[in-house]
Structure 1
Amino acid sequence: MMDADFSTIVLTVLVLLVFVVVIKAIAIVPQQHAWVIERLGKFDRAMSPGAGFVIPFIERVAYKHSLKEIPLDVPSQVCITRDNTQLQVDGVLYFQVTDPMRASYGSSNYISAITQLSQTTLRSVIGKMELDRTFEERDIINSTIVASLDEAALNWGVKVLRYEIKDLTPPNEILRAMQAQITAEREKRALIAASEGRRQEQINIATGEREAFIARSEGEKQAQINKAQGEATALITVADATAKAITQVADAVRHPGGMEAVNLKVAERYIEAFGNVAKTGNTLILPANLADMGGLIATAMAVVKNTGKVL
């Protein structure tokens, strides 16, 4: 009876040991992780995400690495610029483990190594620049640090993705001097803008006056041209009308009875002219040959006849 109980206990212990061994032998690696397996204290392999087997008591999981992008806060430090100005600088570094084996054995602590290297590289880069350039060329500083870190981090199985400066803080004295400089610069730009405005105003006024003068002169010129053209047209019209009237009179004289009508018209005009002279003045001027009225009319008719022959 006791032998049966002992056998049962031994069997139970063996079953439990087998269960524990099986549990220990199964390794499930999460996504975006890598586990480094050592066999008898020596690197054997790196397990990728998924299920795997580890030989108990012979193999062990020595290191576990995350393959995700990791942000690393770089502690703030004092840097001295080329013009001997102190700057309080802090930043953030982004890196990723690309080789689990090198990340395990390339450095005792790759995170500390990256942090220290980024700080020394930052001090070196800032020391080559003047104060004003450090604010203007952050992208150059970031890219220079990334290039330096990435070259050194290859032996650590790490890929440095980017570095960003979070803050650049100069001493209070420098801040006050910079603020005064900014204020003076803004006042200078305001004065320049005001003078440019006055200059442009004067230019606009002069341009407007010049254009107005040109417009007035062009208007006067066009008015004179229009007046001259109008007078020329009027003269031509009067001349054409006079020529037509003379032609019609000449044609009328040639018809029967035309000469008698001319005689009558000349006599009427002659008498009417003397009548008007008598009405408008106190002094009456009479021609010397007033008695010879017929002779005057005959002379006028002779002119009319000669003119008719010419036409």
Structure 2
Amino acid sequence: MLKRYLATSRPELQAFAGRMAGVRAISPLTLNAVRSFSNNSTAPSLSFFQRERLPANTVIRFVPQQTAWIVERMGKFNRILPPGIAFLIPVLDKITYVQSLKENAVEIPSQNAITADNVSLELDGILYIRVIDPYKASYGVQDFQFAISQLAQTTMRSEIGSMTLDAVLKERQQLNQNINRAINEAAREHWGVECLRYEIRDIHPPQNVLDAMHRQVSAERSKRAEILESEGTRQSRINIAEGEKQSVILQSEAQREQQINAAQGEAQSILLKADATALGLAKVAQAIKETPGGDKAVSLQVAQEYVKEFGKLAKESNTVVIPSNLGDMGNWMASGLSIYENLNKTITKK
């Protein structure tokens, strides 16, 4: 009988029944202790935020900070005890719920969701909540932690179903905000619980999708490498062409400067030669005028040059010009002097 009674109790009692199986007789005291423990174990389950049993009514109680105690009088809600000292009526008042006003983290179990492009994802997250109305948190829902957890899962599936895989991976922050807003629309007004933030902890795509993503990343990086390499080659060729262009321009400018300098030098040389010739002629003319017998000396010099140049004709050319009066050397010389005299007269007239 004891085994049958303990089989429906908690696992700890089942282990205790196993240890007591070898005992033939059990004292009434032991049986009463087991029944008392069993009755305590079947008490109403505590709230998610409760870590201890409900406090008993001892007339005077001290409520801890950041904690709200719900008091019922004769089974009906009476008041919420704030932190500090509280006085209760024996028998009539009963502390039914204990709500923590601290921020708590609720783990959202892993779940599957399908994106808009038909990719199955496995996600889990963390939900940060806080009780803002202990009355609604106690009487608005049976277990607000379980309700919020289920609402977070369904909202997550709904949001992910409207997004593609790339959008889910890139816009995780926006997805968290959408889920947080959807949870607050239901939980804050009806359950007295505020969702402070929701964070997706892990996203696990299928293995084939991961492999495809890795190949895509590898291809993208290869593409970038090729683009950068081609841009480098293009820029290198542009730089080489620019360098050659500048080189040609500089060479042409150098040649131009060289030709200009050569022309200026030649012109300067011609001017200097002309000035020197003019100066020499002026001195010669002045010497002829100032020297007695200068005209005769010049005539003699012209005749000598005439004869000398005529003698060169046979050496420098195959054609020889012979004067008709070659035998009369005197007349020949006289013709040379007459040329000089006629030229001198012409210059004098001018």
Same topology, TM > 0.5: yes
Which residue is 1:76 aligned to? Answer: 110
* 2:254 corresponds to 1:219: yes
* Cα contact 2:176–2:197 (8 A) shared by 1: yes
Which residue is 1:97 aligned to? Answer: 131
Which residue is 1:25 aligned to? Answer: 60
CA-CA distance at 1:245 after TM superposition = 4.4
Which of the numbers 233, 253, 265 marks the counterpart of 2:268? 233
Which of the numbers 183, 198, 219 marks the counterpart of 1:149? 183
SS of 1:68 mapped into structure 2: coil
| Map 1:26-41 → 2, pairs under 5 A | 27-30=62-65, 33-38=66-71, 40=73, 41=76
* Cα contact 1:25–1:56 (8 A) shared by 2: no
CA-CA distance at 1:121 after TM superposition = 0.5
SS of 1:82 mapped into structure 2: coil
Which residue is 1:3 aligned to? Answer: none
Which of the numbers 85, 96, 99 marks the counterpart of 1:52? 85
Q: Normalising by structure 2, what TM-score?
A: 0.63
SS of 1:53 mapped into structure 2: strand
Which residue is 2:13 aligned to? Answer: none
* 2:181 corresponds to 1:158: no
In 2, the alpha carbon distance for the partners of 1:177 and 1:225 equals 71
Q: Which amino acid aligns with 2:140?
A: G
278 and 243 in structure 1: CA distance in 2 versus 1, 3 angstrom threshold = closer
Which residue is 1:127 aligned to? Answer: 161
296 and 71 in structure 1: CA distance in 2 versus 1, 3 angstrom threshold = same
**Comparing 36-45 and 134-143, the one that deviates more:** 36-45
| Map 1:1-311 → 2, pairs under 5 A | 25=60, 27-30=62-65, 33-38=66-71, 40=73, 41-48=76-83, 51-57=84-90, 61-155=95-189, 156-247=191-282, 249=284, 252=286, 257-258=290-291, 260=293, 264=297, 267=300, 271=304, 291=330, 300=340, 303=343, 307=347
1:134-162 residue CA offsets vs partner (Å, 9 max, x unmatched): 22221221121111112112122222222
In 2, the alpha carbon distance for the partners of 1:67 and 1:93 equals 16
Q: Normalising by structure 1, what TM-score?
A: 0.70
Gaps (5+ residues) in structure 2? 1-57
In 2, the alpha carbon distance for the partners of 1:231 and 1:294 equals 41
SS of 1:165 mapped into structure 2: strand
Q: Which amino acid aligns with 2:136?
A: R
Q: Which has the higher helix share?
A: 1
Which residue is 1:15 aligned to? Answer: none
In 1, the alpha carbon distance for the partners of 2:102 and 2:223 equals 51
In 2, the alpha carbon distance for the partners of 1:77 and 1:157 equals 26
95 and 267 in structure 1: CA distance in 2 versus 1, 3 angstrom threshold = farther
Q: Which amino acid aligns with 1:212?
A: S
Q: Which amino acid aligns with 2:187?
A: A
CA-CA distance at 1:120 after TM superposition = 0.4
CA-CA distance at 1:260 after TM superposition = 4.5
Q: Which amino acid aligns with 1:177?
A: A
1:218-253 residue CA offsets vs partner (Å, 9 max, x unmatched): 333332233233323333343344444445555x35
In 2, the alpha carbon distance for the partners of 1:239 and 1:282 equals 30
154 and 277 in structure 1: CA distance in 2 versus 1, 3 angstrom threshold = same
Q: Which amino acid aligns with 1:149?
A: I
Q: Which amino acid aligns with 2:69?
A: V
* Cα contact 1:35–1:61 (8 A) shared by 2: no
Question: Relative contact order, CA 8 A, sep 6+: which one is greater?
Answer: 1
What is the Cα-based RMSD across aligned positions, in Å?
A: 3.9
* Cα contact 2:69–2:81 (8 A) shared by 1: yes
In 2, the alpha carbon distance for the partners of 1:282 and 1:228 equals 36
CA-CA distance at 1:75 after TM superposition = 0.6
CA-CA distance at 1:165 after TM superposition = 1.4
1:109-131 residue CA offsets vs partner (Å, 9 max, x unmatched): 22222111110001111112222
* Cα contact 1:34–1:100 (8 A) shared by 2: no
Aligned-pair identity (%): 37
Gaps (5+ residues) in structure 1? 1-22
CA-CA distance at 1:204 after TM superposition = 3.8
Q: Which amino acid aligns with 1:166?
A: R
* Cα contact 1:71–1:95 (8 A) shared by 2: yes
Tell me how many residue pairs correspond in the alignment. 282
In 2, the alpha carbon distance for the partners of 1:305 and 1:70 equals 133
In 2, the alpha carbon distance for the partners of 1:67 and 1:145 equals 22
Q: Which amino acid aligns with 2:206?
A: P
CA-CA distance at 1:94 after TM superposition = 2.0
**Comparing 111-120 and 136-145, the one that deviates more:** 136-145
248 and 72 in structure 1: CA distance in 2 versus 1, 3 angstrom threshold = farther
